[in-house]
């Protein structure tokens, strides 16, 4: 089998384009005077010396904003509105040390914008024009909650012999008061929602990793380069580097962490520098979110890097108010080489190892690593069935306590605690990524992983994956249970029901008699035609007797020797696989396994020789239960039987 080399389509040139507001020319207003004179007007008020005012308007252009951003390089630590605290918002700004009135002017403008005022008197602060513009730029760039603040600033000046001071400033807003209120409520709610997803007791590095992966998995780079703020990023799920950086910093602030901006004029690019365990590290979300966007793809090449490390990755000539740590954060960190979202749950991290083609669980320091799921099928070349793409093209998400992933042909749920897994959707075509966003499964069906952009992403509500919209009556199988879709199918199809009206019982053993009976029901066996039996422990009149007779007549079961069937004995997995394979072949469904179908199964040596062929057939057709381990001697539970029958029904086209 030839290997098709998969080329990562990282379009850096696209990402390196300017990421701040569009260019615009500076402009000036005529004096704001009731008279016809254009030379200025006397200041109002009595007892004050006469001053000549000039009203000036300045629209911070793309280049101006970028230059001011480099000058500001401010920490983005944002208290909930309304608060003004320069020490939290701009603690690292070099302007703060240079401008005597910095704190007072910044706080006054922050409070004014937070309360929606149209103007602010700055006469008493005696701040010069250039200093005022630097402070305003700090405010504009470092307060994501002021997304409604226009880059255009209008102010009056008082001229003296040696300098020109700003007397007052007029704020311009891109939204009406009602629109600002509604948009701010949405922005704050979105921040609160994201923060609520972060598990407690995570370290600073883990918090930074969680938010990094969340934003990249759920948002895409704005190819139109028109979305610059965190609010519109949340609204549209797209934005440029400035929007990513502001959103990331705002969320980290809510989690008690500090973040500053690094800006490179040469690259036309901005990213975050995050404080972790007392040291500063670079985090570039945009460069970890390559274009075109693919569901579930999250890179980690630009996460927690030192100055030297990010410089080696072609970042250059940036300005930043802090210096990074001298040593790498970790040698071979857990996220190294991971190309999908990492999921934090149950005190550990779940991630896909594309080389091993497995999902692992471990602590963030790799301690206690254990396998959870193995990807059996490869992503084949659509033009040549003998070739396959190198890698694993699956997303990884968490939904109601279950891992959500994709194989080439199906969407799967996996219980992270037990590794038990089952397919819940077969969309048709090859799936090259998946992601769950706010309860909606998004997945990409394509011809190859090398996307051109514009591919349609399909979606379905996770709650809609099931046999019908009617809820199950069983209190031990809630909708978030991974067994829910399978139990829903077998109970509604009448294959087998719960042990009571309110309890299904997914944990009790499944007997050999019950398995053969349900198999017969699935394939509409006419029980009346089988009124005899060849097993001496299966007497006529039992509820399972005709189905055992049918299975024996069809060569699906052979008994346990000495003329016994042992109907009440618990069924083992390898017995289940053999019976299922014999039935499937008898009915002409499924595909035959290759000679290496069981290759790579860690516990293959535990499978009885008589069960090898049946186990291989079930594995080839997606009918095995559990994770990578076969556990052939394990007793089958009622929940596992439901999973197999739901999958067998799909294979046979009966669901």
Q: Are residues 492 and 452 in the same domain?
A: no
* Residue 581 neighbours by CB distance under 10 Å: 25
- Segment of 56-65, 89-98, 358-367 carrying the highest mean pLDDT: 358-367
Dihedral (C-alpha) 341, 343, 349, 350: value to the nearest 10 degrees? -70
Is residue 366 in some structural domain? yes
CA 28 to chain centre: 46
Q: Are residues 421 and 355 in the same domain?
A: yes
Model confidence band, residue 626 (pLDDT cutoffs 50, 70, 90): confident
In this predicted structure, the answer to whether residue 116 has a pLDDT above a threshold of 80 is yes
Is residue 260 in some structural domain? no
> Where among 179, 208, 229 does a domain terminate?
179
In this predicted structure, the answer to whether residue 402 has a pLDDT above a threshold of 70 is yes
Burial of 439 (0-12, 13-18, 19+ CB in 10 A): exposed
Least confident of 69-78, 369-378, 456-465, 582-591: 69-78
Is residue 91 in some structural domain? yes
Residue that the structure tokens 């980690």 belong to: 300
H-state helical runs in 198-284:
204-218, 230-236, 241-254
Q: How many domains does the chain have?
A: 3
Helix (H) or strand (E) holding 353: strand 348-353
Give the 3-state secondary structure of 8-62: CCCCHHHHCCCCCCCCCCCCCCCCCCCCCCCCCEECCCCCCCCCEEEEEEEECCH
> Where among 432, 464, 496 does a domain terminate?
464
Is residue 97 in some structural domain? yes
Q: Are residues 394 and 489 in the same domain?
A: no
Model confidence band, residue 93 (pLDDT cutoffs 50, 70, 90): confident
For residue 86, the model assigns a pLDDT of 52
CB 19 within 8 A of CB 11: no
For residue 471, the model assigns a pLDDT of 79
- Residues of the domain holding 120: 12-179
Q: φ, ψ for residue 130 (rounded to 5)?
A: -65, -40
In this predicted structure, the answer to whether residue 83 has a pLDDT above a threshold of 70 is no
Q: Are residues 542 and 581 in the same domain?
A: yes
Q: Are residues 459 and 531 in the same domain?
A: no
Q: Are residues 602 and 556 in the same domain?
A: yes
Model confidence band, residue 467 (pLDDT cutoffs 50, 70, 90): very low
For the record, the structure tokens of 523 come out as 């394939």
For residue 339, the model assigns a pLDDT of 96
- Read off the pLDDT of residues 442-452 as tens digits, 9 standing for 90 and up: 999 999 998 87
Model confidence band, residue 41 (pLDDT cutoffs 50, 70, 90): very low
- Residue 517's contacts (CB-CB under 8 Å, 6 or more residues apart) are 496, 543, 544, 547, 548
For the record, the structure tokens of 374 come out as 């193995």
Q: Are residues 37 and 173 in the same domain?
A: yes
Is residue 199 in some structural domain? no
How far apart CA 75 and CA 93 sit, in angstroms, is 7
How far apart CA 212 and CA 300 sit, in angstroms, is 9
In this predicted structure, the answer to whether residue 411 has a pLDDT above a threshold of 90 is yes
- Read off the pLDDT of residues 473-531 as tens digits, 9 standing for 90 and up: 999 998 878 888 899 999 988 999 999 989 999 999 999 999 999 999 999 998 888 87
Q: Are residues 137 and 80 in the same domain?
A: yes
In this predicted structure, the answer to whether residue 645 has a pLDDT above a threshold of 70 is yes
CA distances from 647 to 237, 412, 425, 580 (A): 35, 11, 10, 11
Is residue 151 in some structural domain? yes
Q: Are residues 638 and 498 in the same domain?
A: yes
Q: Are residues 578 and 538 in the same domain?
A: yes
Q: Are residues 160 and 66 in the same domain?
A: yes
Radius of gyration of the chain (CA): 32
Is residue 442 in some structural domain? yes
H-state helical runs in 198-325:
204-218, 230-236, 241-254, 307-312
Higher per-residue pLDDT: 193 or 531:
193
Q: Are residues 352 and 453 in the same domain?
A: yes
> Where among 433, 464, 495 does a domain terminate?
464
3-class SS at 623?
coil
For the record, the structure tokens of 572 come out as 């083992």
């Amino acid at each position: 089998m030839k290997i098709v080399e998969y080329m990562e389509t990282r379009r850096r040139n696209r990402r390196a384009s300017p990421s701040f507001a569009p260019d615009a020319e500076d402009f000036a207003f005529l004096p704001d005077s009731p008279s016809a004179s254009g030379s200025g007007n006397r200041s109002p008020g009595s007892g004050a010396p006469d001053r000549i005012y000039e009203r000036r308007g300045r629209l911070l252009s793309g280049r101006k904003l970028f230059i001011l951003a480099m000058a500001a390089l401010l920490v983005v630590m944002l208290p909930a509105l309304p608060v003004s605290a320069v020490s939290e918002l701009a603690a690292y700004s070099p302007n703060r040390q240079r401008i005597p009135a910095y704190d007072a002017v910044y706080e006054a403008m922050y409070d004014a914008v937070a309360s929606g005022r149209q103007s602010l008197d700055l006469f008493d602060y005696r701040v010069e024009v250039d200093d005022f513009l630097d402070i305003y730029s700090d405010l504009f760039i470092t307060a994501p909650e002021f997304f409604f603040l226009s880059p255009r600033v209008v102010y009056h000046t008082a001229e003296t012999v040696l300098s020109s001071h700003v007397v007052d400033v007029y704020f311009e807003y891109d939204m009406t008061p009602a629109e600002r209120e509604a948009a701010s409520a949405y922005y704050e709610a979105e921040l609160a929602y994201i923060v609520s997803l972060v598990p407690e007791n995570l370290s600073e590095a883990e918090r930074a990793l969680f938010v990094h992966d969340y934003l990249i998995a759920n948002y895409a780079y704005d190819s139109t380069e028109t979305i610059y703020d965190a609010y519109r990023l949340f609204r549209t799920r797209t934005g440029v580097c400035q929007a990513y950086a502001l959103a990331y910093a705002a969320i980290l602030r809510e989690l008690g962490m500090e973040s500053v901006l690094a800006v490179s004029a040469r690259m036309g690019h901005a990213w975050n520098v995050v404080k972790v365990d007392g040291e500063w590290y670079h985090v570039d979300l945009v460069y970890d979110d390559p274009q075109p966007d693919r569901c579930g793809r999250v890179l980690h090449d630009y996460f927690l890097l030192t100055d030297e490390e990010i410089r080696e990755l072609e970042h250059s000539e940036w300005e930043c108010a802090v210096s990074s740590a001298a040593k790498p954060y970790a040698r071979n960190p857990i996220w190294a080489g991971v190309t999908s979202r990492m999921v934090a749950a149950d005190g550990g991290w779940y991630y896909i190892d594309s080389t091993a083609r497995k999902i692992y669980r471990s602590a963030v320091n790799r301690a206690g690593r254990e396998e959870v799921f193995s990807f059996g099928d490869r992503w084949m070349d659509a033009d040549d069935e003998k070739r396959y793409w190198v890698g694993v093209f699956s997303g990884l998400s968490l939904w109601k306590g279950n891992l959500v992933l994709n194989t080439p042909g199906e969407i799967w749920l996996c219980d992270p605690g037990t590794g038990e897994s089952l397919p819940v959707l077969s969309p048709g075509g090859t799936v090259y990524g998946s992601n769950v966003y706010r309860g909606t499964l998004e997945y990409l069906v394509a011809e190859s992983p090398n996307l051109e952009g514009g591919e349609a992403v399909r979606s379905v509500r996770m709650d809609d994956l099931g046999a019908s919209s009617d809820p199950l009556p069983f209190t031990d199988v809630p909708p978030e249970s991974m067994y829910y879709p399978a139990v829903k199918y077998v109970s509604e199809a009448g294959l087998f029901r719960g042990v009571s009206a309110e309890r299904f019982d997914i944990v009790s053993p499944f007997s050999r008699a019950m398995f053969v009976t349900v198999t017969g029901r699935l394939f509409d066996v006419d029980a009346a035609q089988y009124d005899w039996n060849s097993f001496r422990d299966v007497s006529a009149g039992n509820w399972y007797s005709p189905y055992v007779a049918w299975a024996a007549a069809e060569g699906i079961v052979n008994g346990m020797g000495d003329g016994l069937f042992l109907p009440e004995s618990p069924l083992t997995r390898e017995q289940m696989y053999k019976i299922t394979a014999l039935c499937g072949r008898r009915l002409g469904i499924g595909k035959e396994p290759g000679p290496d179908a069981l290759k790579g199964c860690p516990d293959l040596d535990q499978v009885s020789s008589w069960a090898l062929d049946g186990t291989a057939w079930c594995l080839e057709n997606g009918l095995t239960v559990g994770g990578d381990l076969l556990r052939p001697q394990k007793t089958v539970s009622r929940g596992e039987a439901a999973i197999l029958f739901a999958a067998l029904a799909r294979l046979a086209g009966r669901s």
